[in-house]
Structure 1
Amino acid sequence: MVPPLVLDIDGTLTTPDHRVDPRVFELLPGWDAPVVLATGKAFPYPVALAEFLGRDHLVIAENGGVIYDGVETTIDGDPDRCWAVVEAFLERGGDLGWGGDDTVNRWRETEVALSIDVDERLLREVAAEFGPGVEVVDTGYAYHVKSPDVSKGAALETLADSIGLSPASFVAVGDSENDVSTFERAGKSYAVANADDAASGAADHVLDRGYMDGTAAALEALRDGVSPV
């Protein structure tokens, strides 16, 4: 039997140029166990992907701020405090970095995402002035201003319990520091080869290949009943 999965999206189910890899639509629709999509993106993105995969909508969005178990949505975090940090950052000359694109934060409910090209030093300096109730997480694709007690790992505990499973029954695959908490709760964890130092250090195994190349190899091995490494 295949294990339940908790999968990051960006950098894990994608190509190096940020497209969803078509192998996702070959490997995941028939996966005979729950598949949780756990991402830093806003809620509509993983729900849409689950829909097109023909999977139950088991979703962790906004780095754990939004959880959906197919029936009930759970929201956690302090978006007002996050926006206060961002507004102070903007007042001091910062920029969200998305140009005219407002879709990045349009549906975001618990945090704020800024482009990876913004002034990180200034952003972290402003966030520090707001004290321990807020943090900045670098996912490699964006800086997320979020509540520190919100995480993908904590969300996995909540979602797994709601569907009658233990977090330790899951296999996790990811690529960045926001996946560390997931790796800590899952029974087995794999970092793709393009993973940052935090994810690579926290994973049980680092795969030989990056992006969906690594994830596909791991899923194929799990499907065939052999170790991915």
Structure 2
Amino acid sequence: MMRWVFGLLMLVGLSACAASRDLDEAPVPLGDFRLEHNIVIADKAQRGPLSRPASEEQLSNAVKAAMAERFGRYTGDSRYHFGISVEGYVLAQPGIPLVLAPKSALILNVTVWDDAAGGKLNDEPEQITVLETFGTAPIIGTGYTMTAEEQLKELSQNAAKAVERYLVRQQSEQGWFTPDSTAAPADPDTAPVPGQSAQIENTDSPTQG
């Protein structure tokens, strides 16, 4: 399945907009949300065809920084946690203009934890797939115009924006981040904390099963 996804991304041109443009604006409403723990793992990330290499640390740090950048703007009173696994990536190399210029891509699986409830809001991880931002080099691809680090930063920002859209949709449809006055206090031992990435991986990794 992962090979099929990467192959599709390399051949089909999809549009995207710069995800960082709105970071200086007020965040879209997201109930009583505040991001507490922001855990990202990349130990099973698959490198796509024709991709530049990226280390596990580079992948996890880039995604974690982008999530903190976007969701650090939310200052609600209720605490939530992210458990994110990087599933795959393509950091495009220079290709053939107009024909085979490869497109960068990033695939994440995201689980959201409710601190007060002491459990997950989504039983199954939400898979987020994003492409490079088009506009600066729509014909030749970012493999010609950006370093691998710049590509990864851009992809991570696009992913953070996609996660925000997902959370806004869940808040609108499910009221995820509306405080429940009847909820019992959470057991602090059940919430993920820094250093517990192995626990999140064992619980939520889509590569299992």
Per the TM superposition, whether the score is higher than 0.5 is no
Query: Which structure is richer in relative contact order (CA contacts within 8 A, separation 6 or more)?
Result: 2
TM category (shorter chain) comes to under 0.3
Question: Which structure shows the higher helix fraction?
Answer: 1
TM-score where L is the length of structure 1: 0.26
